[in-house]
A and B are shown apart, each in its own frame.
Chain A
């Protein structure tokens, strides 16, 4: 299911969703209309490596914020698990629980791995109008860096500049 041909690509409207961010709070993609959103799908909380993908993004949040972009992490873990993970890794961005029905959002974005029962490592940059502007499915076992995200955000900024 994590075949690159199935991942939603640039130009596609990003499917809206509402997911738990804490046990008693939800967020919707549409809440962020008007500003870019980075969606970072990842397999599971508590991966055994330090300095990994989410730790890296956490470290460079200010770079994303320069582009007024909001970073949202998504995995199939529950919001309770996300809470423990975020506090353990000192993550300063929301982690969404694609928990019930499991992986439903990952499936709609074409990045669910049926066999493993988790999302793939996949990235989407969505513009302020809710259109996917860039997407990337990382090969299994390889963390994507942030270079592609930053390029996509810069591209968005330059288009916004051209329009203005």
Chain B
């Protein structure tokens, strides 16, 4: 049986991805994340410090992995972030990404999208456009494509990280440990 090694990122990072940092960086860190997941929120607290330590040596990539059976609002949060990106560009996407995590307790149990739409407005997008995009499931396929790429790459929960294409099963809760693992991957 010709089986690839489990936990290998595919497809590779491309223009359809949301990235921060130089494309030429020696270290690429990909996160499969779910905006409603508390562990991802915790990682969001760690990542800025990791990125600061590594600077231009590292590129960060975010792909959607909403686990909708346990996080019913996660899919709309992800689609809203895509709508914001389509309207206002990558900078706004990352702003929305940050806002969703920072304000997670305010929308995670909500029965509607009101708070998510407010956050989209804060990120600079038109909330009516986002609402219409959510209604028409405009970005559902995009988000699901990210999700399936994660499944095929060996994502085993959220968040799952890949360092230069290999799944990282080590500690990401400590900045020092995470930075050490990343440094090992790049010059």
Chain A contacts to B: CB under 8 angstroms: 10, 49-53, 55-56, 58-60, 63, 89-90, 133-134, 136, 139, 142-148, 150-152, 155
Contact = CB atoms under 8 A, between A and B. Distances in A.
Contacts of B148: 63
Interface of chain A: mostly helix, strand, loop or mixed: mixed
Interface residues of B, number: 27
A56 B156 contact: yes
B69 A55 contact: yes
Contacts of A49: 39, 157
B58 interface: no
Interface of B: 1, 3-4, 6-8, 34, 37-39, 67-71, 148, 151-158, 160, 167, 169
13 contacts: A50-B67, A51-B71, A53-B156, A53-B157, A56-B157, A89-B69, A139-B169, A144-B6, A144-B154, A146-B154, A147-B6, A147-B152, A150-B152
B151 A50 contact: no
Contacts of B69: 55, 58-59, 89-90
A50 B39 contact: yes
Given A56-B67, A142-B156, A148 B3 contact: yes
A55 B155 CA distance: 12
Contacts of B68: 59
Contacts of A60: 151
Nearest to A148: B6
Contact of A51 (B3, B39, B169): B39
